[in-house]
Amino acid sequence: GTDPTDKKLILFICDGNMHRSALGAYWTTQLLQRHGVTDICADSRGVLGLTGPREKGTHGPKDNLEKWKVSAPFFCQFGNEDLLKAMEAHKSRTVSAKDMKRAAFILVPDRIVFNILVKKFPKQKNKVELYMRLVGVDAEIANCGGSNNDLSLHHMVAEIILRVIDASFDTIVRRVREG
């Protein structure tokens, strides 16, 4: 196999790296494999820790497992039963200058994350794009991290992420290769 550092990187970044970015990277990895794209890899990070200390208990989505289970039937519609295992094993990580430099293309769900990245890493700002702009919509994907009881929001956010990545997969691959 090829050394992953030889591959071009698409980096998904959200606030805590527990839901939106982890899901984006996971789903993109699945599509890259399905389409036989071997020169690109996907990974995820969060901005928590850049703006202050991380809160205790923000190390991964295990705390959100009930939400992931509610969304599981939707993921299975997309032909992926392994997502819960992947999310359970996921460890959130804070984005670094090295990550930003290595990435060929960076997708973020909202303007808060976008603005933090552009302020902290101004030399990399041309790589950063909102997910929804890939499908021609100037909109944000909600942060459902604070909505512990709103499982419908969690499900809707997951559905939007998967559908946007599916609909824009060719564009994502092109942008990464151009980066």
pLDDT band at 17 (very low <50, low <70, confident <90, very high): confident
Q: Distance of CA 27 to CAs 33, 38, 112, 174, Å? A: 10, 15, 23, 17
**Model-level pTM greater than 0.75?**
yes
Condensed to tens digits (0 to 9), the pLDDT of residues 97-133 reads: 999 999 999 999 999 999 999 999 999 999 999 999 9
Residue 59 has a pLDDT of 46
Query: Does residue 134 contact residue 108 with C-beta atoms inside 8 Å?
Result: no
Q: Which two tokens stand for residue 157?
A: 């956010």
pLDDT band at 57 (very low <50, low <70, confident <90, very high): very low
Q: Which has more pLDDT, 110 or 85? A: 110
